[in-house]
Amino acid sequence: MNTIPTDQLLTALNWRYATKAFDPARKISAATWAAIEDSLVLTPSSFGLQPWRFLVVRDAAIRAKLRPHSWNQAQVTEASHYVVFAARSEITAGDIDRLIERTAEVRGQPATALASYRQLMEGHLLNDARKPHNPDWAAHQTYIALGQLMTGAAVLGIDTCPMEGFDPAKYDEILGVRKDGYASIAAVALGYRSDADKYSTLPKVRYPKSEVIKVV
């Protein structure tokens, strides 16, 4: 595996910030966007269950409909790309079956060989005490993908702005995700910063490393 120098990673993460103003004339290339989508597909998840869906909103009319329900933030319509992160509203036996079938297909083994793995997931996720907490669990898993997207984008020199400032119910209605068993939880605008974005030059505010990292 090829690696990048550590200073290159840290330079990219220091360069990244929550971009408030995008240059609408600059678009992410098809090849770069394909890599970003692939990075989303490669996101890790607990059990490998992948309880998410990523909606790449290309339609300008739909993005215009979303903007009023996003605190009227300009990033929704001005960024090159806009991705809505949706999590499973409920974890079902069907979700587990789907993963078992996919695992058997990819790894060339019979589904019956994964019986103990199926039982593990069912015992943990489908018991009555756990079920009410599964939507929150799925949402937490989906935030792993959000972080992976932003880190990968920074390394590629793509600006991002993570967004929770929107009406999830309206997003669900406009995007039609509820009928498929998902709920909108976050979004990310991606593209290239505008020269007029005053936030691009502000120092990054973080607590000292000694305060946030403890060795035990």
Angle at 194 between CA 31 and CA 5, to 5 degrees: 55
Mean pLDDT of 185-213: 97
Stated as kind and residue range, the H or E segment containing 172 is helix 168-175
Query: What pLDDT band is residue 184 in, cutting at 50, 70 and 90?
Result: very high
Which stretches within 108-133 are classed as H helix? 115-125
pLDDT digits (tens, 9 = 90+) for 146-174: 999 999 999 999 999 999 999 999 999 99
| Nearest C-alpha neighbor of 19 from the set 61, 82, 65, 68 | 82
Percent of the chain with pLDDT over 70: 100
Q: What is the mean pLDDT of the chain?
A: 98
pLDDT digits (tens, 9 = 90+) for 47-57: 999 999 999 99
| pTM of the model as a whole | 0.96
